[in-house]
Amino acid sequence: DIQMTQSPSSLSASVGDRVTITCRASQDISSYLNWYQQRPGRAPKLLIYTASTLQSGVDSRFSGSGSGTDFTLAISSLQPEDFATYYCQQTDSFPLTFGGGTKVEIK
């Protein structure tokens, strides 16, 4: 199985900050990497698929990059509604696997 490792596991930031979250795969997954946001008590929401494609309706302050084993989610200017937990997911092969999550908290 492909292991997905996210870092950091949590971070504190202020509104307006630029934030980056990284995700590393245990083997080459090409661009088969997706990012989700989950607010407390809510279902996950797809932000980015195939590493860098923004899901319809998602604000352009979110962006994704990377290929192979190393990927990044960036939020250009953190907004109050962005305080949440973010997960990466590989869809290169079954079983599909998620990273452990990165919780973005208010500083």
User: Per-residue contact track with another protein, 21 to 60, x per CB under 8 A?
Assistant: -----------x-x-x-x---xxxxx--x-----x-----
The count of chain residues that interact with another protein, using the rule CB under 8 A, is: 23
The two tokens of residue 52 are 């860098």
Could you tell me which stretch among 12-20, 59-67, 68-76, 87-95 binds another protein (CB under 8 A)? Answer: 87-95
Could you tell me which stretch among 11-19, 20-28, 67-75, 83-91 binds another protein (CB under 8 A)? Answer: 83-91
- For every residue of the chain, which 3-state class applies, written as one string? CCCEEEECCEEEECCCCCEEEEEEECCCCCCCEEEEEECCCCCCEEEEECCCEECCCCCCCEEEEEECCEEEEEECCCCHHHCCEEEEEECCCCCCEECCCEEEEEC
Q: Is residue 96 a contact residue for another protein (CB under 8 A)? A: yes
Q: Where does this chain bind another protein (CB under 8 A)?
A: 1, 32, 34, 36, 38, 42-46, 49, 55, 87, 89, 91, 94-101
